[in-house]
Amino acid sequence: MSLVVVSNRITRGNANEPVTGGLAAALLPVVEKSGAIWVGSSGRVREGAQKEPFAEIEALGAGALAMLDLPAAHYGGYYEGFANSALWPALHSRADLICVSQGDYLSYREVNAFMARALLRFRKPETAFWIQDYHFLALGAELRDLGVNEPIGFFLHTPWPARDIIEGVPHHRELVEAMLAYDLIGFQTEDDCENFASYISSSLGLVVDDGVVTSKHGTTRIAVFPIGIDVEKFARQAAKAISHPDVSRLRRSLNGEKLAIGVDRLDYSKGLVNRVSAFDRMWTVQPSLARTVSLLQIATPSRGAIEAYGNLQSELAKLVSDVNGRHGEVDWTPIRYLNKGFSQTVLAGLYRTAQVGVVTPLHDGMNLVAKEYVAAQNPADPGVLVLSKFAGAANELDTALLVNPHDIDGMARAIATALSMPLLERRMRWEAMMAKLRRHSIQQWFTSFFETLQNARAEREAMQPVVEPPVQWPPAAFGQRLIAG
Ligand code: F6P
């Protein structure tokens, strides 16, 4: 069976090019090894009606990458509008930031329909479709409308919030009903899956029985598949990257001081203001820690055209400059703050250089930076992960120092604890996390999703209602009986 994977963002697989976001980095080895076709946005738009959607196709390991130009008239309403100004804030429990128009919703549906038409080109007699993330909630339903009867699975990389929050999204009912065209819907955590099930039963009035929803589309299985990383590959990459020129320059610049690292997209869900405030608090409460540790915070801009992102960028820049101004010295900058992206190779080397990894989102589907930081460590002298308990990764990485990102004092204390943790404890915590990462690798994620998709499809086929011949009234014999008196 051939596989078509779909996501908005894709990556060309060059380890030396910057890659934005966990999804693209995670899907890369899946496509390279499985031989799938990966279809996503080229990042370019095209004017006018496209009879045949334009895609540039290139090889990617054993698979291929198809980069699609999305329709110019609908791109803004789809990406900056409905996907990232309604769905994204709601999915991260920030209903207060929802800001969309009816036109945005129509554009979102248009782009989903456009993608469905484009996918027909990659359909073979036995094809399974695997749709990724909140950009394409309705894509399964659009494919079904085009007559696609093959297995279609969906995986959500973000959290799924409580029912009342998702109800703040205009057209939520239509969208979730459309999602039930999928054979399988996968979530990162049990909480996400339970929230979804609760929406289905309370808002749609449908029954969820043992992880199966029955709707007008048939049956849909809902289940949990925590996404992983290619652990061994990342560990090898980190060991090698330590001699990369950028990483060597960083090490030389440290003058014996320790390094904490944070790597995030510049997004309000990542808790960046709280994190910087925690470092500020730590240096204020324990001035002896000044000069002994600095924070390297990489905050890669994305979705810059959206007001909430622009506001965050200004707020963070001001805060970092304020903290550096108050705690800095002529020869010491407390926070090295960079607004650009780095390649996987360089990031792996930076993670290995840092004694502390700070991953403290307010809410996150999984957060693969946490997993990559752990995989990158030197087994003989591993660093410590300070991890938000509201990141999906905290379910597995429970021997990290778990923190509440809203508790600035608590985070400050945890960072100080991480900095002074003895080697034995660091190794014990790290080994326990590595064992979990190996058990839940990206390969295992792919295999278990794909197998469950095939089973879910078989279940749906088995549950197809038996089509009884229409009941005839009056029954054929009735008239004859009347005639016969
Ligand atoms: O977390 C959801 C997600 O789609 C990630 O997979 C990825 O990290 C990020 O959002 C990408 O965001 P964008 O493509 O808008 O920069």
Whether 415 lines ligand 1, by a CB cut-off of 6 Å, is no
In which element (H, E) is residue 152 found? strand 152-155
Sheet holding 218-224, edge to edge: 55-60, 63-71, 37-46, 2-6, 127-132, 152-155, 184-187, 218-224, 212-215, 208-209
Burial (CB < 10 A; 0-12, 13-18, 19+), residue 73, is middle
Residue closest by Cα to atom 11 of ligand 1: 21
Q: Which atom of ligand 1 is nearest to the CA of 84?
A: 15
Same CATH topology for 2-228+442-456 and 231-439: the answer is: yes
pLDDT attached to residue 473: 45
Name which residue sits closest to atom 16 of ligand 1, judged by CA. 302
Which of residues 467 and 151 earns the better pLDDT score? 151
Residue 467 in this model has a pLDDT that exceeds 80: no
For the structural domain made of 2-228+442-456, what CATH number should be given?
3.40.50.2000
- Probe residue for ligand 1, chosen from 8, 10, 82, 133 as the CB with the greatest number of ligand atoms within 8 Å: 133
Cα 423 from Cα 382, distance rounded (Å): 8
Give 246's contacts (C-beta < 8 A, 6+ positions apart).
342, 346, 349, 350
What CA–CA distances, in Å, run from 225 to 95, 445, 451? 26, 6, 12
Distance (angstroms) between ligand 1 centre and the Cα of 37 equals 20
Q: Whose CA is nearest to atom 10 of ligand 1?
A: 21
User: Could you tell me the distance, in angstroms and rounded to a whole number, from the CA of residue 361 to the centre of ligand 1?
Assistant: 14
Dist. CA 234–CA 442, nearest whole Å: 11
- Segment 388-416 shows an average pLDDT of 98
DSSP bridge partners of 153: 130, 184
Contact (CB, 8 A) for 177 and 204: yes
231-439 is a CATH 2.60.40.1180 domain: no
pLDDT digits (tens, 9 = 90+) for 293-351: 999 999 999 999 999 999 999 999 999 999 999 999 999 999 999 999 999 999 999 99
Where in the sequence numbering do the catalytic residues fall? 157, 364
301 lines ligand 1 (CB under 6 A): no
Instruction: For 100-152, write each residue's pLDDT tens digit.
Output: 999 999 999 999 999 999 999 999 889 999 999 999 999 999 999 999 999 99
Q: Could you state, in order of their start, the residue ranges of all structural domains in the chain?
A: 2-228+442-456, 231-439
| 365 touches ligand 1 (CB under 6 Å) | yes
Query: Does 404 contact ligand 1 (Cβ within 6 A)?
Result: no
Predicted TM-score (pTM) of the model is 0.94
Report the share of the chain in percent with pLDDT over 90: 88
- Of 140-144, 161-165, 186-190, 474-478, the poorest mean pLDDT is in 474-478
Q: Candidates 7, 154, 157, 264: which one to mutate for ligand 1, based on the most atoms within 8 Å of Cβ? A: 157
Query: Is the CB–ligand 1 distance for residue 302 below 6 Å?
Result: yes
351 vs 382: CA distance, rounded Å? 10
Determine the distance separating the centroid of ligand 1 and the alpha carbon of 234, expressed in angstroms: 20
Ligand 1, closest atom to CA 79?
15
What letter would DSSP give residue 343? B
Are 41 and 67 a contacting pair, CB within 8 Å? yes
Quickly count helices (H) and strands (E) in the chain: 18, 16
Tokens 């991480």, located at residue? 418
304 CA from centroid of ligand 1 (Å): 13
Mean pLDDT value across the chain: 93
d(CA 23, ligand 1 centre) in Å? 6
| pLDDT classification of 481: cutoffs 50, 70, 90 | very low
